[in-house]
Structure 1
Amino acid sequence: MDSKGRFDGQVVEWAVVGSDIGPLLLAATGEGLVSVVFHADDAVRDRALERLAGRLGAELVESAAGRLAEPIRRLDAYFAGALRDFGLPLDWSLTAGFNRQVLRELASGVPYGTVVGYGDLADRVGQPGAAQAVGTAMGSNPLPLVVPCHRVVESDGGIGGFGGGLETKRRLLALEGVLPQPLF
């Protein structure tokens, strides 16, 4: 936004789509997918869109076509078990510094069906001992699911935390064959 509160011309397209883990809010800029929000009921959607408009200084336009058509198609394929790598252009503008470094390593270095420990991920980005900071990076991930923070677990075998909720994390790990399918 400029000094008078007007948008600088950037347009962000957004849509809420159904998925096996509930409604997801997707948003994309001209650069790529910029945000994924879990459990996107009306209240969550409205808060997320307000934050996006403020952080990006952009006009938000609802649209499941255009920039979001391919991300939606690939999410459907992922949940159908037919896609293992999203391969989408991503807009990293909602993250920076150490968090961006960790998230980029996660996106490129932890493939479908595998997990990594918080400490191991810290080691991979050259910050041994920064497991807690990696946890913070996971919690601030603007692109969960596509940048697979559900694949980060505790070194002692625990599932760890997850901003989308532990049941969502369990379901995603089960989909990828890391955990057994839930009984109900």
Structure 2
Amino acid sequence: MKLNRKNKLLLLGFALVLYVCYSFAISNTINYYKEYKTKQEEIAADSNMPKLVGQLIQKEKQLDQVLSKYDVNISESFQNDLLKQLTAYSDSYKLKIVDFQEPHSVAQKGFTVTSYIFSLEGSFNGCLALLNKVENNPALGTIKHLNFIKKRNYKTNTDQLFVEIIMQKNKGI
């Protein structure tokens, strides 16, 4: 078979028709089929919703038990509670609260993240013990940053250790 001009145009026309059919009909059909499959999966996931609700209720009961174990109470001023805890811990470990700055709040993704920045002065072991107490008390929040600074006091000719702590507390909006 010879490929003359008519046969070449016929093959080119056939390829063009195939491309047009694919772009207008077949590709749309494939997209609709994919969408159909995702909707079916969503419907199947919704049918498991009563099981999920039961699991969430169980989880809530477990969390309530854990929170009651740690004696978490909701108060008016978390900052005052944090300061009271820090004062009690610092007295027992012979530390001094040097600085307690105003909290910094940021709203992101449905939560309000409040950062508390404070500084302590004292021995390294005392600072670590206080940080351990604070970290093991989930009601106070989480420690996000520590900065130990050693300064020389030239009047008394001694070294002083300062630690700057940034704690964060998340709260749902």
What is the TM-score of this pair, normalised by structure 2?
0.26
Higher helix share: 2
What is the TM-score of this pair, normalised by structure 1?
0.25
Greater Rg, structure 1 or structure 2? 2
